Structure 1
């Protein structure tokens, strides 16, 4: 449920949305099936209605852009595990899960800003880290595991400004927020945000 919320929250229109999901191969099919069940059960409609799980995208242009990515996936042989379809009138995109996608595909390498999750299996920690870091962006990442030793091995190796463990997009005003690589320069929030507006001065006095 956490991995589903990471991408489907606010229709995936979040800078740190969890749009790539790397799953241990032996659990891959079950995880994809579970997330697809969650996606299929989501109620779409007026985002101001408390009973609705997902509202529309922000504009027709963004809706067309998201469908463009989904269509690129179909054309390249990817499998749409769920969603990928129009829902009634309005700027809706059904929550979508896509598998059988190459790591270098634009679905993986670019920011979609829509309710589209790409799921890819991995074989070991090194494989997961290689793919997780194979991105021009590095704003937020989450690790879902009960193996804390593995978690602590991976945290310093993930090239991301924020790493959440067994949660996603959990922001705290005391913690700096910002990214690596093309995800930005500097940090918001925390003491680091104050330092961003200061200049360092070095002083050396010979006695």
Structure 2
């Protein structure tokens, strides 16, 4: 059994949690199911480790973060195999998450620091703005990108001088727990603690009075619950929640040139990413051609277990999400015309074919809501002002994109979107140097870039009066 990391020790816990293979629907292993005592021990260990970690120089903390990244790289083959097993995704996608995203974010934040800023200096005073560590951070990680998102929370929290308790997703705990085992001899005891378990463990972490901040990635519904639970202790909260990203195809776009990229950004990880394309708005003049192109790509794609070398796309990761996707397939049939996919294969596992729906309109559940699975609605529009308004009408505002041959014109349209991130002729282009904010009901706070360090720091002004000259 893969073990939890608590206070520098590897712990099996007192009870087990089943882990299901999404390719078969069967249990293939167990991990520890953290109880209240485990959460308490982890928070206490992080609290005890905090002063010494805070007092290290940013450079010293950065050396440890780089060592953590190196350990991930050294063990990438094992980690990627575990990730394929628990998510069902193809190996190439697992390698991208582990080696590009997780390692990239760990290395980016290594040694990064927020330097003091001089606000005022005159004959009477000198005022500086400082940013100081908060204490213990609680991080709750989702099932769709467990290694990347864990690293994207651990790295800035540690770089800022905080310690951390990570709670893995119940359905994809293996690879993140294995990170804890690999890091046990690198990170000072208590600085990083990694727990596996169900929702109860996460709730205890959120409510704990010794946790100064919660960072959560997941559904908007759960984000609301976290805000409510964090309120009694007034702890800081960063929420990166659901998205319903719109992509707008302008009338001057080259369908043949951009269709493969549109397809890739819509069905990445079988649509199980908060910031992939969820609504595709296409101008009347290009509508039929784009629908045909995307449908053709989807129909020829291979959906199979990640262990299959031919696999291009894997299954929906867990039964609960699979059932939601099946619901949205029914909604798609009622609201529009399915031109690719739609027929769920018989047999074991949570496999759903890549599905494309045309002749569908705003107001349909498949357009207005987030399926979080491999279903793409393609919506017709004729007026740019109207489509911008429709894209902005969603309560979600995580990401969006605009596609066209005239880049300057496309950029002007992009600037009118309300989402936290807007891309032109690309989508979901994640980069550790680039902030990734969330607006509206997609959450608040920011991850990525130097700005992603600031939510892990408290502001302090130091206002020094200068001596008054004698006489």
Identify whether the pair has TM-score above 0.5, normalized to the shorter chain.
Answer: yes
Q: Which residue of 1 aligns with 2:443?
A: 184
Q: Which residue of 2 aligns with 1:82?
A: 340
* Greater strand share, structure number: 2
Cα distance in 2 for partners of 1:171, 1:95 equals 23
Cα distance in 2 for partners of 1:22, 1:102 equals 10
Cα distance in 2 for partners of 1:28, 1:202 equals 56
Q: Is the 8 A contact 1:97 1:119 kept in 2?
A: yes
Cα distance in 1 for partners of 2:387, 2:261 equals 19
Q: 2:271 aligns with which of 2, 9, 12?
A: 12
CA RMSD, Structure 1 to Structure 2 (Å):
1.9
* Greater helix share, structure number: 2
Q: 1:118 aligns with which of 377, 391, 406?
A: 377
Q: How many residues align?
A: 206
Q: Which residue of 1 aligns with 2:327?
A: 68
Shift of 1:202: 6.5
Shift of 1:119: 0.4
Shift of 1:14: 0.4
Shift of 1:205: 9.0
Q: Is the 8 A contact 1:176 1:187 kept in 2?
A: yes
Cα distance in 2 for partners of 1:25, 1:13 equals 29
Cα distance in 2 for partners of 1:161, 1:147 equals 23
Check 1:87–1:178 CA distance in 2 against 1; reply closer, same or farther (3 A cut). farther
Check 1:197–1:61 CA distance in 2 against 1; reply closer, same or farther (3 A cut). closer
Q: Is the 8 A contact 1:80 1:97 kept in 2?
A: yes
Q: 2:424 aligns with which of 141, 165, 171?
A: 165
- Which consecutive residues of structure 2, in runs of 5 or more, have no partner in the other structure? 1-259, 467-471
Q: Is the 8 A contact 1:42 1:53 kept in 2?
A: yes
Cα distance in 1 for partners of 2:404, 2:311 equals 30
Q: Where in structure 2 are the equivalents of 1:13-92 lying within 5 Å?
A: 13-75=272-334, 77-89=335-347, 90-92=349-351
Q: Is the 8 A contact 2:400 2:421 kept in 1?
A: yes
Q: Which residue of 1 aligns with 2:397?
A: 138
Q: TM-score, normalised by structure 2?
A: 0.42
Cα distance in 1 for partners of 2:283, 2:352 equals 28
SS at match of 2:294: helix
Cα distance in 1 for partners of 2:332, 2:293 equals 21
Does 17-26 or 50-59 show the bigger shift? 50-59
Q: Which residue of 2 aligns with 1:153?
A: 412
SS at match of 1:80: strand
Cα distance in 2 for partners of 1:156, 1:68 equals 34
Cα distance in 2 for partners of 1:13, 1:201 equals 39
Q: Is the 8 A contact 1:67 1:84 kept in 2?
A: no
Q: Deviations over 1:12-34 (max 9, x none)?
A: 00011201000111100000000
Q: Whose radius of gyration is greater, 1 or 2? A: 2
Q: Is the 8 A contact 2:281 2:379 kept in 1?
A: yes
Cα distance in 2 for partners of 1:112, 1:10 equals 13
Cα distance in 1 for partners of 2:410, 2:458 equals 35
Q: Is the 8 A contact 1:142 1:166 kept in 2?
A: yes
Does 190-199 or 38-47 show the bigger shift? 190-199
- Which consecutive residues of structure 1, in runs of 5 or more, have no partner in the other structure? none
SS at match of 2:320: helix
Q: Which residue of 1 aligns with 2:359?
A: 100
